[in-house]
Amino acid sequence: MKLNRIFAIALLLACMSRQGSASEMPWSQRTADAAILRWPDGRWVPAGQHWAWNYELGTLLEGMDAVWLNTADARYYNYIKASVDQFVEADGSIPTRKAEEYQLDNILLGRQLLLLYGVTQEKRYADAAQTLYEQLMHQPRNPAGGFWHKQRYPNQMWLDGLYMAEPFYAEYASRFNHPEGFKDITHQFALMDQHARDPKTGLLYHGWDESKRERWANKETGVSSQFWARAMGWYMMALVDTLPFYPEDDPGRKQLIAQLELAAAAVLRYQDTASGLWYQVIDQGRRKGNYLESSASCMFVYALAKGVRRGYLPH
């Protein structure tokens, strides 16, 4: 599976959902229709092959539901529902999800469970979402209280884990009245800002291992060695997708907006002026073998556009 293609399509759907002209179908719908044709019922494996609960589908459907919400075209809602229904049993169980792995990646698709529950009020969607919430309540944590990215990655926090978990966590806390969750969510972002942010560039390293034992971890700081553009994209998207669920008077809201402002300023400094895109290793555009990366560029555009539209970032 070509992840770049999945990410680019999903983010194009989300970014372009408000675009278009009277003379032609908007790009968001044209892209959504192409995705539906290419991947019927949200499957990109051949018929008969194993298909499991996964974050890549969650990414695609985030774009699809943006198109549905802005068009009210039932085809897009039906696609979301068919894509999720293949995994969720009548009792709310998700048989293909491996609970024992404690993967934050498995949380992302839960955002569609909350959408479907909001539309249908079917208990199975709420039960399945509660299962994911319970995973977060029992997720292994490092001594500082940060979620491990997975059970097999002890003490490691990754920027993409913030996107996988925190928007769902915030929406669930808002919908099902768990206001105490927002302090924990803020803490997850704060840990990565404190330990993974480079004071010189303002960029965040992809990973932080509090134990400093992982082979990629700096022996003094515990961070990974490079600034990966897509990791910064996950981070910024996590911020703009989590913030809408924060109570206006929650102190963590200002803290997350401040982190978004710092991240936006940092990535803008490294935008390629000729193409408007960003490089895979974001701060090393002249490095041999480095290249302009489409999915990360889409992530930045999405986060910047949503940040401006919702008033978190200045025009």
∠ Cα 19 25 29 (to 5°)? 70
Domains of the chain, with CATH numbers?
1-139 (1.50.10.10), 158-315 (1.50.10.10)
The mean pLDDT of the chain is 94
Confidence grade of residue 14 (pLDDT, cut at 50, 70, 90): low
Q: What is the mean pLDDT of residues 39-63?
A: 94
Judge whether 250 counts as a catalytic residue.
Answer: no
- Would you say residue 22 has pLDDT above 80? no
Give me the catalytic one of 65, 105, 160, 283.
Answer: 160
How far, in Å, are 38, 56, 173, 310 from residue 181 at the CA level?
38, 25, 6, 22
| CA 35 from centroid of its chain's CA atoms | 19
Per DSSP, the three-state class of 98 is coil
* pTM of the predicted protein model: 0.93
Q: What is the pLDDT of residues 156-180, one digit of tens each?
A: 999 999 999 999 999 999 999 999 9
pLDDT on residue 20: 47
Question: Is the backbone of residue 155 left (phi > 0), alpha (psi -120 to 50) or beta?
Answer: left
